[in-house]
Amino acid sequence: MLPGRLLDDRFELAEVAGSGGMGTVYRALDRASGEVVAVKLLRRLDARAEARFLREAAALSRLSHPHIVRYVTHGVAPTGEPYLAMEWLSGESLADRLSRLELRVDESVALTRRVADALGAAHARGIVHRDIKPSNLFLVDGALDRVKLLDFGIALLSDATSRLTGTSAVVGTLGYMAPEQARGDREALDGRADVFALGCVLFECLTGQRAFRGQHLSVVWKLLLEDSPRARELRPEVPETLDALLTRMLAKDPSERPEDGAAVVRCVDALGALEGSSAPSALPPPAAISMRERRLASVVAVRSAQPSFSATTESLDAHAPPPGTLAAVRRAALTLGAQVVELGDGIVAAVAASAGSAADQAALAARCALQVRALLPGAAVALVTARGEPMRGSPFGEALDQAAALLDAAAAPARADGRREGVLVDAATRALLDARFEVVAEGGLARLVAEREIGEGARQLLGGPSPYVGRERELQQLLELVGDSFTERRAAAALVTAAAGMGKSRLRREAVDALLQRHPGVALSVARGDALGGGAALALLAGALRSALGIAPGEAPDAQRARLAQALGSLLAGEEGRWAAAFLGELLGLAPPDEAPAALEAARRDPARMAEEIQRAYVDYARAVTGARPMLVVLEDLHGGDAPSVGIFDRALRELGDRPYAVLAFARPEVHALFPQLWAERGLSELRLRELPARAAEQLVRSALGASLAPEEASALAQRAAGNAFCLEELIRAAAEGRRAPPEAALGLVEARIAALGPEARRLLRAASVFGEVCWAGGVRALLGAPAQGPSERAAWAELLDREILERRPSSRFPGEEELAFRGALLREAAYAMLTDRDRELGHKLAGEWLVEAGEQDPEVLAEHLARSRETGPRRPERSLGWSDRRGKGVA
């Protein structure tokens, strides 16, 4: 409808005052009253938009309050377009005011009281606004005392019209919604949801910041799980009584909040007179970095409903997850030890932030994601690994946002049967997952499709296999040990130990491939300890037997029995074969096809006898195999194995001492703590993998990135990896893609070493990382806020030196100051990545100030600390002058 037209024989439309997705607002003259009014004319005639329009009209028609926009009338234009006429307002929104000016404490409280009074009138009539925010509070002529509440378009009404959005709708604005509103809990939704939103507005008026900041799902995560912020932390002059009221309004539990707008008015009146303040003052800057740190987390996100809001809007108008989704994710996350939460937009998420290595955490999350995929075949599932700050209960909004973005990017249709293929994974997770997890690339996305019992293929490096360098001596030792066992017909056992990422799995593949070529008839069985699942009794032995028999994961029980019978039929005859088949079948979880033998039934009633019979059955089977050909048992991740299986392999090594029976085991160093006397009486040979030699590392770099790479660049990459093969490959990938920042997967692997330290040692290490790869004890102490070294600091230094994280330098650049260095660039980068944003900025400020006093003469060093500090907090004048002078000289 054009300006100048007459609407419904009453309203003369003048100019367009505003236009949006739903319609147009006109300035108009009401012939009935002679007043200027605002006429909102609906443009979109879909059912959803019309329902929202009619809800606003119905709500306003019931309300008359000086701080609620006044209703005039509503109707339908001759052209069929619904319209709503309201009083004409000129001025600005509270959002506009807050973007320019700060409010005094008394102004903030007075504004809150007026809005609460308006809400009290609505709540008394059974109306819940559901979208209280600064942009919906209008200041007539810019006056705070003439605030008007706008936009009742998503209001919840007590009668049948309130059900227009459906039973599972989640509506509102992120950052202002109450937790129960974000969860879509309509049964719990009442005036207390508006009280929470009004509390968010009051917090913003007092502090200039939103109470719940972040992007999209991270806001929901904070809203549901983090403690509410305190205004006094940002503005100390906020009275304690007001801060306490605000805390009540922002309570997670609705029962702890004032019950409605009228109750808020009474609470505000009970505060009494409050002193004004021209501007908020800042808290005194913290004197030391905190105990808080940023850690990696893996997030499994599941969406069983279609998304209905985009990443470019704050408004959320979505459906809660279908029934059963939350239960399915909880079930899959039992072994993950994860937090499970129901978010907006139909998403349920499980967040794992364990103390183990990032690789273990990602593997456990991958297993959880695959279980979710099996339980919810029609849902979209994503898995991401990202860094977050464990703050006030839970942390990882950034990871949730990444997961949601991945789900949005993968809005591909399901298959014809409604199923969706695989689990979407991000680059960091894909890098952390080892070869047992099958990940395929598809249309620019990576999908996790399965977990195998053990990895079959090598990790690819820039699209192809990487050369095997630097471990030739260890490989030759293994080949000789196993070769001697086979040719001299004597049992042998070897153990390869190394930290994660050092190359155990690659050595295992190279050794097995070479042994199969040299000894074509060898009987091979391969099993992996389950460090993730806790190592169930005899799980390792059962895995080795399945591998020997060629039983594939998920194979039908009848097919498994057939494989077992076929293998034993050629090795053990008659009653001996039937007895072995019964107990080895029991090991594999296979019930006998006919009635169970009496010996098996008796053993089932006696666990000790069952364990003995299974041991005998396996040793007899292995004796029969080695009577015909050599047998090689390969055990990967033995640190995740179970003690009963380890004991049975010990017995086999003892009883088959004159047989070609060899056991090759690979584990992390903690295997000795789990199995202190591991095969000690069987002549165990242990190989401890050290750092990849520098020459071999440089050879790998040049092989992957090209011979044209400058020698110093190849050397720098090799040194940065500090001999860790996995980290070196990740650094090579980053270099090939032109990324200078350290890969998150590499940092996550190194972070596991740091996570094993005590909290004081970790804090000290984070402080040390601010200085770079070299630090000074006095400088670190300045960041810790400790004027003198105390017992806890001495213990932390000792721990870092004993664990070979730091090393002392023989001399110092600053006389009288002890100088130390990180034992590897990635260690420093991993520690630095664990700093919170606030601690990082503060740390650079304090480090710069200490360096000035210590006599630092390099202006670029000081300038870098100054730039990274972002001028955190007030600086003493003489120190500021020192920084500025030296920075100026450096520029000149």
As a whole number of angstroms, the distance between CA 620 and CA 297 comes to 46
Out of 131, 360, 530, 839, the active site residue is 131
**H helix and E strand count, the chain:** 32, 30
Q: End-to-end alpha-carbon separation of the chain, Å? A: 65
Q: Decide: 851 and 878 in contact? Cβ < 8 Å.
A: no
Count CB neighbours of 644 within 10 A. Answer: 17
Return the SS3 of 421: coil
Q: Decide: 762 and 784 in contact? Cβ < 8 Å.
A: no
User: How far from chain centre, in Å, is Cα 777?
Assistant: 34
369-372: long-range contacts at Cβ-Cβ below 8 A with a sequence spacing of 24 or more? Answer: 369/300, 369/332, 369/423, 369/448, 370/423, 370/448, 370/450, 370/451, 371/331, 371/332, 372/300, 372/302, 372/328, 372/329, 372/332, 372/423
As a whole number of angstroms, the distance between CA 84 and CA 79 comes to 15
Distance (Å) of CA 636 to CA 23, 91, 768 = 65, 71, 36
Q: What are phi and psi of 380, to 5 degrees?
A: -90, 130
As a whole number of angstroms, the distance between CA 574 and CA 586 comes to 19
Rg (CA), the chain: 34
User: How far from chain centre, in Å, is Cα 769?
Assistant: 23
Residue with tokens 């991270």: 218
Q: Which two tokens stand for residue 694?
A: 């520098």
As a whole number of angstroms, the distance between CA 77 and CA 42 comes to 10
Confirm whether 131 is a catalytic residue: yes
Q: Which two tokens stand for residue 764?
A: 């000290």
**Angle, alpha carbons 535-538-543 (nearest 5°):** 85
Please, what's the largest Cα pairwise distance for the chain?
111
**Which residues are the active-site residues?**
131
